[in-house]
Structure 1
Amino acid sequence: MIELHLIGIGTGNPDHLTAQAAAAMNRADLILLPRKGAAKSDLIDLRREICATVLTAPVQIVEFDLPVRSDDPVYLDAVHDWHNAIAAAWRAQIAAHLPGGGRLAMLVWGDPSLYDSTLRIAQRLQGAGLEIDVRVVPGITSIQALTAAHAIPLNPLAGPVTITTGRQLREGGWPETADTVVVMLDSGCAFDALDPQGISIWWGAYLGMAHEALEQGALAEAAPRIAARRAELRARHGWIMDVYLMRKERDDGA
């Protein structure tokens, strides 16, 4: 039996870990840390820092190379193949380091339930004949970090919130009936596809980290500023994680 703990680590700041997350890490027999290549070395460095800060027990830590997603133009096919490859990498590490079973912990950026596929990959392990008990320790989401950084409420008064991706926003436009839209996994400023009239934006990158970057304002004037800053930050760090909230003006002023 493998007891798999998926632990939300917020945006990578050790101060964002919950007491439950720290306890789960210290009870683990093995923590797996994925390496995502030299361009994203900051990501594993942050996971190493979290382990060094939080662990007080002699937990085994193993690093492994995460498979790279293919450039298959059919997006969902590429993602399914990638998830299968990641599940195979997990199985290999489990066989090598927990052959008799035990507690395995994975540190998941943000929250394992929100635009993250770790739970789907874990289901592939269960379907491959491994006896796995999956447990989730929730963490701070990037949405919480964004609204806190800008000191704004997530929703307008009595209004709904739609959470979507950059791909969906670019292909489908502003979601119908939405007052507020939160956009995640945007690889290229999808807000440029919108008519900016009456829309405000609050944007954040590397939230909770030392090089956190924030921008806000009317979309018409903020969009070029965000695009330029995003490009500069990506060139400087080799990667970027950002999220943004947009809100349309309402007739009632809420």
Structure 2
Amino acid sequence: MCYRNFLPNANSIVHNMTKEDIVRSSLWIDENGFEDAITAEKPNITRLMESMIDANKTLGKFPGAFAVPICRNPRGEAISSVWTKSGRNYPCKCGEVLWSDKDYDWKRDKTRKFLERTGFKFSEDWEDYCSDNNKCKGEADIDWNFWVGPQEGKIPKKLKHPFKTCKSPKEHQWGHPGEDPGVQWRKREVEEMTWQEVQRAELELWAKQLEERQTGYDRSKEHLAT
């Protein structure tokens, strides 16, 4: 679903779900390692419910409904602005570590998990942008050997090492949402749909996402079994 659908003036389209609900659900999934606990075939409901009860902070209105890959840092260096390239941080280095740290901390680095969850492990632009624009330096003593499925693409040759330090995070900016070419097109599209059609489209998208997630989970199990 498009980011713009969850802005305050459009959230009736998605039944009052907000950006904050998506973030809270995704943070909860990330903090508890629930990415593989929610599958289309056999969701671990018991584990999810127990964690909801024990949670010591708000989970939003839809806990567990969203599992957007998380990349965060203590000072927010990983935050990328939307609708502008000048505030782009991609992000390059994930985990409870500072971008300015000079030594690589493999226990706290979460970048590999983020690359695998987002598919950025197939992006040559990710490595190029972080190296050239955010002045990131790789940890040459550690090699990333990503597993690639039979139907997936190739890992760029340059995407071989994690980054240990990044010197130039970009300033966070609001950007220019009015220049988004999809805004007016999406508005017209929604106005022509009934609420039943909107709801059906959302359910179909959710089912598709669950199916894709389950397919990836099955492939991972087959790989481990061999």
TM-score norm. by structure 1 comes to 0.26
Select the structure with the greater relative contact order (CA < 8 A; seq sep ≥ 6). Answer: 1
TM-score norm. by structure 2 comes to 0.29
| More strand, by proportion | 1
